[in-house]
Structures are given as structure tokens and as C-alpha cells.
């Protein structure tokens, strides 16, 4: 004898021990909660989807979600697998959005202070905070491209601060190298900007090394976890 189920209605839900509506049914938990489930078959296998707890998810909404799942099945798509993929994509997007240029640059800078002098570390961070972060620090580094960076560097260059613009481009390149090594980015956008600025002549005062060769002035890359 087949198991008898009660058609889903608001009254039946309140008193439900077993209720079903074209694959949609309520599963009563040991604590008395009522969980919406949808039973379906895909590739010959029986599967279940969960739509949430009643009354947070109403009968109307549960039916709507059931109908959406049945539409996917009619198109040859497993609604359960589609949900898993959407969740994975959302998590990946969330991680990408969280890794903005500023977040990654500060992480990179924190690694460099181990080998930089304190004064240089302060100067580098100060330059990025003044020029780079306000302009594009909020942009996820994985989506940041050269056309979004170049106007900032050229604006600094136009004011006659050629060396500062050059340094900032170098910092960008180092940050992207760090991001690539940690799996956050795939492209070194800082390298894409090589040659985009007017060349500047380094001064050599009192036999000192040119600025471009000063150890403390060269952005360094430290391996992740170092």
C-alpha cells in the first residue's frame, strides 16, 4: 500500500507530518521544523533540492522555486549542480572583490618592511596612499588594467614629478608580481605600463648611485609566506 501524503495547503502545512505537491514536499525535522525539499530525477538518479524552512519560505515561493527547477530539468540542466556552480562562482567573485589593489598593495608593503629601512617604508606607503589608492585602490586587482592606472601617473608627470611617476609605476609592477605569485591576479599590468611615461634623467650627485639604482628605492618582491 502506497504511503498517503497530504496535498500542500497553508492549513496542511501547519499540521503537516507528510505533505507533497508534484515533487515538492515538507520534511519535518526531529525538532519540529518544516523543511522544503524537491525530489527529482536526473540521469536516472534520484536527487533532492532544499528550498529553505517554512514559514520563512512560503508555499507560494517554494512552488515558484520548484517550477524553476523543473524548467531547468526540461532544458537538460541539473538544478542541483547549477546551484553548486552558482555558489562556487559567487564565492570566487566575493574573493576577487575583496582583493582590491589597495588591500593587495598593503599586503605587499607589509612584506617589504622586513628588508626596507623604516624611513623608506613610510615613504613608499605614503606615496601610494597619496596618489594610487584614491584613484584606483578600490578596484579588484584581478580586473585592474593599464588604462585605469595611466591617467594617474601622467597627471603626476604633467606636474613635473617625473621621478615620482616612475617610482609609482614600479610599485604597481611589484604589487602585481606579488598578486600573481599568490594566485590573486594573472596579468602584470604594471609591466604593461613600461614605456608609457616620458623617460626621466636620473641625477648623480657627489658620486652617488643614480636614483633608479638606489637599493631602497627599488620595489622588491617577497615570496608569499616569507
Q: What is the average pLDDT across 14-42?
A: 77
Which cell numbers hold the place of 159?
Answer: 606636474
Q: What is the pLDDT of residue 122?
A: 94
Q: How far apart are the first and last CA of the chain?
A: 68
pLDDT at 135 over 90: yes
- pLDDT of res. 105: 95
Task: Report the distance separating Cα 178 and Cα 160, nearest Å.
Answer: 29
Q: What pTM, to 2 d.p., does this model score?
A: 0.54
What are the sequence ranges of the domains in the chain? 6-93, 99-217
Would the pLDDT of 220 be above 50?
Answer: no
Helix locations, the chain, DSSP H: 10-14, 59-74, 79-98, 101-112, 118-127, 133-136, 146-158, 162-181, 189-192
What CA–CA distance (Å, rounded) separates 179 from 52?
38
**pLDDT tens string 43-101:** 888 998 889 888 888 888 999 999 999 999 999 999 988 888 877 767 666 666 678 99
Place of cell 604593461: 192
State the greatest distance between any 2 C-alpha atoms of the chain, in Å, as a whole number. Answer: 101
Q: Report the side by side order of strands in the sheet with 6-7.
A: 6-7, 19-21, 24-28, 34-42, 45-54
- Res 210 pLDDT > 90: no
Name the most confidently modeled range: 8-12, 94-98, 112-116, 212-216: 112-116
85 or 106, which is more confident: 106
Residue 125, pLDDT above cutoff 80: yes
Lowest mean pLDDT among 4-13, 160-169, 214-223: 214-223
Out of 180-184, 194-198, 199-203, the most confident range is: 180-184
204, pLDDT greater than 90: no
- Grid cell at residue 40: 527529482
- Contact call for residues 102 and 138 (beta carbons, < 8 A): yes
pLDDT for 109 beyond 90: yes
- Say what the alpha-carbon torsion angle 49, 54, 58, 62 is, to the nearest 10 degrees: 10
The 10s digit of each residue's pLDDT in 137-181 is: 999 998 899 999 999 999 999 999 999 999 999 999 999 999 999
* CATH architecture of the domain covering 6-93: 2-Layer Sandwich (3.30)
Provide the grid cell at 100.
Answer: 582590491
Query: Spelled out in words, what is the top-level CATH class assigned to the domain 99-217?
Result: mainly alpha
Average pLDDT, the chain: 80
Is there a contact between 163 and 212 (Cβ–Cβ < 8 Å)? Answer: no
- Contacts of residue 182, defined as CB under 8 A and 6 or more positions apart, other chains included, come to 224
Between helices 59-74 and 79-98, what is the axis angle to 10°? 100
Amino acid at each position: 500500500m502506497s504511503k498517503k501524503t497530504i496535498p500542500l495547503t497553508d492549513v496542511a502545512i501547519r499540521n503537516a507530518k507528510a505533505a507533497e505537491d508534484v515533487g515538492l514536499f515538507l520534511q519535518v525535522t526531529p525538532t519540529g521544523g518544516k523543511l522544503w525539499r524537491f525530489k527529482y530525477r536526473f540521469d536516472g538518479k534520484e536527487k533532492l533540492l532544499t528550498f529553505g524552512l517554512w514559514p520563512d519560505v512560503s508555499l507560494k515561493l517554494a512552488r515558484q522555486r520548484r517550477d524553476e527547477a523543473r524548467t531547468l530539468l526540461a532544458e537538460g540542466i541539473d538544478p542541483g549542480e547549477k546551484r553548486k556552480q552558482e555558489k562556487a562562482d559567487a564565492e570566487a567573485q566575493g574573493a576577487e572583490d575583496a582583493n582590491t589593489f589597495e588591500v593587495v598593495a598593503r599586503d605587499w608593503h607589509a612584506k617589504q618592511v622586513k628588508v626596507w629601512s623604516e624611513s623608506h617604508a613610510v615613504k613608499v606607503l605614503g606615496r601610494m596612499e597619496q596618489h594610487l589608492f584614491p584613484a584606483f585602490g578600490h578596484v579588484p586587482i584581478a580586473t585592474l588594467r593599464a588604462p585605469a592606472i595611466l591617467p594617474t601617473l601622467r597627471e603626476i608627470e604633467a606636474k613635473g614629478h617625473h621621478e615620482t611617476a616612475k617610482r609609482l609605476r614600479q610599485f604597481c609592477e611589484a604589487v602585481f608580481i606579488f598578486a600573481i605569485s599568490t594566485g590573486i591576479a594573472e596579468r602584470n599590468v604594471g609591466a604593461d605600463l613600461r614605456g608609457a611615461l616620458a623617460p626621466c634623467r636620473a641625477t648623480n650627485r657627489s658620486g652617488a648611485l643614480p636614483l633608479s639604482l638606489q637599493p631602497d628605492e627599488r620595489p622588491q618582491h617577497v615570496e608569499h609566506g616569507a
